[in-house]
């Protein structure tokens, strides 16, 4: 028994797009560095709430145009697509701003604060016939396609159990947005979304979701463990915390074999195929581990050039279902964000 190969092309082979970065913060910097290092695409414009910050970003990444407002950015005719990299609380408004300006849009994870906001953004993009993709970058990585093919080919037998965790030390001394309910902070939307999306892929959805966790004094979740059941009766154990770095490992176990992804499963990594006697049968080594954020941008460029309006690797209906799962978990944990209906 051997692992299938990946079907994900090299990002360098994708068509070139002219990107506009909306909200040039931490991830926008990593994303732009990856884009420029490993694709033919370029960020040609940056929009910030502050012209000074837009100019600083533009200077650092050799970007042609800097705007002191997001409105000016989305109105730029020389921009093919917008990357929304603001906090979760702002994704809904910023994605709609881009869509209303007629721009295809890649929206950082978690897609929005809640499913109602996600449905509005998805409906708007569909009505406008514009490409819309959630920037859940893990879905577009080569090693995850190897896992996807194992599931499609039935290599593992019947899938019985999924385990995944994601913990980072980001609280109490980390970024303010993690701690702030007004910015839809907490571990769930930022970190737990990775193991949850991984299990959703492995199980093909959830029929039951049970969460327990702890909240910060401000009322966002510090961490949680989520038990899920898939439509075929498989179980998933998913956990997350923003108070410690955890192994960040993931595995899918079936009646015939299991796959394990070594630490930091959500980044480009190694997949190992292990039989029921615990012998390693095969392994897939990701060819290049740096600049993994380029894969989602390359997928977006291929889709836009082909005239597609969503990605088969993460369809919009699944993005919406994932937001519904996050809503369900927040309900069970007792987390509400200010201003939610
Ligand atoms: N894919 C990944 O690996 C990854 C990693 C980290 C984060 N993320 C995601 O990326 C998004 C942003 O995270 P980040 O770590 O880059 O955050 P960040 O460093 O705080 O940057 C966010 C930017 O959003 C803008 N912004 C707009 N409205 C804001 C508001 N009300 N409050 C604060 N900032 C506001 C700010 O830029 P201006 O004011 O200059 O416009 C700010 O610099 C989140 O959705 C997060 O989950 C993804």
Which ligand 1 atom lies nearest to the CA of residue 136?
1
Mean pLDDT of the chain: 97
At how many degrees (to 10) do helices 193-203 and 316-333 cross? 120
Is residue 245 located within the same domain as residue 158?
Answer: yes
C-alpha 233 – ligand 1 centre gap (Å): 37
Residue 181 in domain: yes
Is residue 109 located within the same domain as residue 153?
Answer: no
Give the neighbor-by-neighbor strand order of the sheet with 18-22: 65-67, 42-47, 18-22, 81-84, 105-108, 132-135
Active site annotation includes 109: yes
Take atom 21 of ligand 1 and give the residue whose Cα is closest.
25
**Strand boundaries in 177-275, DSSP class E:** 208-215, 221-229, 235-241, 250-254, 257-261, 271-275
Helix (H, G, I), strand (E, B) or coil at 338: coil
148-169: average pLDDT: 98
Tell me how many domains the chain contains: 2
Is residue 155 located within the same domain as residue 39?
Answer: no
123-141: average pLDDT: 98
Residue 193 in domain: yes
Is residue 276 located within the same domain as residue 146?
Answer: yes
Task: For the beta carbon of residue 129, count every other beta carbon within 10 angstroms.
Answer: 10
Take atom 20 of ligand 1 and give the residue whose Cα is closest.
25
Asked whether the predicted pLDDT for residue 68 surpasses 90, the reply is yes
| CATH number, domain with residue 26 | 3.40.50.720
Question: Do residues 54 and 47 touch, judged by C-beta distance below 8 A?
Answer: yes
C-alpha 113 – ligand 1 centre gap (Å): 14
pLDDT at 289: 83
256-275: average pLDDT: 96
**Residue 198 dihedral angles phi and psi, to the nearest 5°:** -65, -45
CA distance 88 to 85: 9
35-63: average pLDDT: 98
Range of the domain at 121: 11-137
Please tell me whether the overall predicted TM-score, pTM, comes out greater than 0.75 for this model.
yes
Is residue 133 located within the same domain as residue 256?
Answer: no
Is residue 88 located within the same domain as residue 131?
Answer: yes
C-alpha 162 – ligand 1 centre gap (Å): 30
Is residue 220 located within the same domain as residue 283?
Answer: yes
pLDDT at 341: 65
Residue 338 in domain: no
What residues flank ligand 1, with Cβ below 6 Å?
23-27, 48-50, 53, 85-88, 90, 108-109, 137, 175, 177, 183, 190
Select from 102, 137, 172 the last residue of a domain: 137
183-211: average pLDDT: 98
Residue 145 in domain: yes
pLDDT at 99: 98
C-alpha 22 – ligand 1 centre gap (Å): 10
Residue 36 in domain: yes
233-262: average pLDDT: 97
Select from 137, 172, 204 the last residue of a domain: 137
Residue 169 is given by DSSP the state B
Select from 100, 116, 137 the last residue of a domain: 137
> In testing the pocket of ligand 1, which one of 21, 66, 177 has its CB within 8 Å of the most ligand atoms?
177
Is residue 174 located within the same domain as residue 323?
Answer: yes
Is residue 105 located within the same domain as residue 239?
Answer: no
pLDDT at 269: 96
pLDDT at 145: 98
User: Which position among 55, 109, 139, 148 bears the catalytic label?
Assistant: 109
Residue 105 in domain: yes
Residue 150 in domain: yes
At how many degrees (to 10) do helices 115-128 and 88-100 cross? 20
Asked whether the predicted pLDDT for residue 195 surpasses 90, the reply is yes
Residue 303 in domain: no
| CATH number, domain with residue 324 | 3.30.360.10
Is residue 179 located within the same domain as residue 278?
Answer: yes
Tokens of 153: 């080919």
Tokens of 250: 């993931």
Is residue 93 located within the same domain as residue 72?
Answer: yes
Is residue 205 located within the same domain as residue 173?
Answer: yes
């Amino acid at each position: 028994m051997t692992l299938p190969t990946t079907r994900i092309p090299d990002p360098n082979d994708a068509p070139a797009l002219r990107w506009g970065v909306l909200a040039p913060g931490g991830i926008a910097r990593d994303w732009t560095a990856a884009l420029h290092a490993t694709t033919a695409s370029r960020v040609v414009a940056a929009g910030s709430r502050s012209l000074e910050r837009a100019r600083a970003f533009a200077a650092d990444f050799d970007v042609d145009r800097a705007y002191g407002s997001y409105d000016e950015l989305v109105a730029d005719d020389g921009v093919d697509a917008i990357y929304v990299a603001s906090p979760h609380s702002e994704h809904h408004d910023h994605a709609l701003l881009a869509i209303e300006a007629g721009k295809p849009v890649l929206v950082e994870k978690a897609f929005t604060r809640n499913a109602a906001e996600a449905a509005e953004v998805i409906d708007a993009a569909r009505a406008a016939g514009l490409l819309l993709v959630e920037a859940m970058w893990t879905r577009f990585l080569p090693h995850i396609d190897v896992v996807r093919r194992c599931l499609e080919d039935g290599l593992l037998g019947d899938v019985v159990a999924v385990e995944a965790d994601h913990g980072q030390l980001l609280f109490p001394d980390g970024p303010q947005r993690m701690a702030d309910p007004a910015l839809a902070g907490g571990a769930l939307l930022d970190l737990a979304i990775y193991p949850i999306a991984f299990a959703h892929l492995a199980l093909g959805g959830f029929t039951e979701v049970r969460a327990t966790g702890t909240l910060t004094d401000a009322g966002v979740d510090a961490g949680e463990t989520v038990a899920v059941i898939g439509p075929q009766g498989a179980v998933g154990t998913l956990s997350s915390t923003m108070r410690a770095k955890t192994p960040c490992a993931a595995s899918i176990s079936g009646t015939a074999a299991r796959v394990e992804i070594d630490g930091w499963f959500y980044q480009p990594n190694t997949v190992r195929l292990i039989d029921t006697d615990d012998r390693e049968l095969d392994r897939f080594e990701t060819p290049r581990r740096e600049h993994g954020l380029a894969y989602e941008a390359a997928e977006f460029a291929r889709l836009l050039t082909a005239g597609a309006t969503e990605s088969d690797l993460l369809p919009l209906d699944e993005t919406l279902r994932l937001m519904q799962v996050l809503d369900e978990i927040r309900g069970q944990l007792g987390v509400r964000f200010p201003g939610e209906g």
